[in-house]
Chains A and B, each alone.
Chain A
């Protein structure tokens, strides 16, 4: 069974569109994250949720809105997509806010054209 699963794996869309990426974890973890990996492979945290509450928001444009309906899910909605949003987005989860060990999903490659 996949521990952290993201859908879709690939997403190609036009500028200006709104899109969502879904993430689910079946590990029973209480903390979930979104990371962005840019074209130079640099990974940087975007958001972190603990028990459905936002605890980290790293200067991400407000076009990006995470939604956590329950602690097993953390979806990422992006409005008015721009070319610069093209990247690989990784979802991750961990147990406990003090423990920085995270399990990662396979990533969603977003291409904005």
Chain B
């Protein structure tokens, strides 16, 4: 069965600093990988996704993520964080070829200091 681990429960960065949120997955075949963001009181918004092809994917709001099969990782990055990026970030995996569900990590809360 698939699983997702987000090792960092809470990360604090200063505005303008770079950001990397870690995500490790467990799945036997090629996974679909996703990053979602949940702003306070809001629903989930898809930031980016990886299905195949180029392992560096670009998303909305200046985010990118890199799929590394050898490390079973899909870390999210942003070169310069804005105060509006403060939110909860969820990594998710969906199985290729017939799975209808996403399995989520437990989320990483991002705090941005001015």
Q: Which residues of A contact B (CB under 8 A)?
A: 4, 31, 33, 40-45, 48, 50, 55-56, 58, 90, 92, 97-107
Q: By the criterion of a CB under 8 Å from any partner CB, how many residues of chain B are at the interface?
A: 26
- Residues A42 and B101 in contact, CB atoms below 8 Å apart: no
Shortest Cβ gap from A112 to chain B (Å): 20
Shortest Cβ gap from B65 to chain A (Å): 15
Asked if B32 is at the interface (CB within 8 A of a chain A CB), the reply is yes
Known A97-B98, A97-B100, A98-B97; contact A104-B43, beta-carbon cutoff 8 A: yes
- Residues A31 and B106 in contact, CB atoms below 8 Å apart: no
- The residue on B at minimum CB distance from A103 is B46
- Residues B43 and A42 in contact, CB atoms below 8 Å apart: no
Q: Which residues of B contact A (CB under 8 A)?
A: 32, 34, 36, 42-46, 49, 88, 90, 92, 94-104, 106-107, 109
Q: A48 to chain B: which residues have CB within 8 Å? A: 100-101
Question: Interface centre among B42, B44, B88, B99, by most A CB within 10 Å?
Answer: B44
A-B CB contact pairs (8 Å), 5 listed? A43-B44, A56-B101, A92-B44, A101-B46, A101-B49
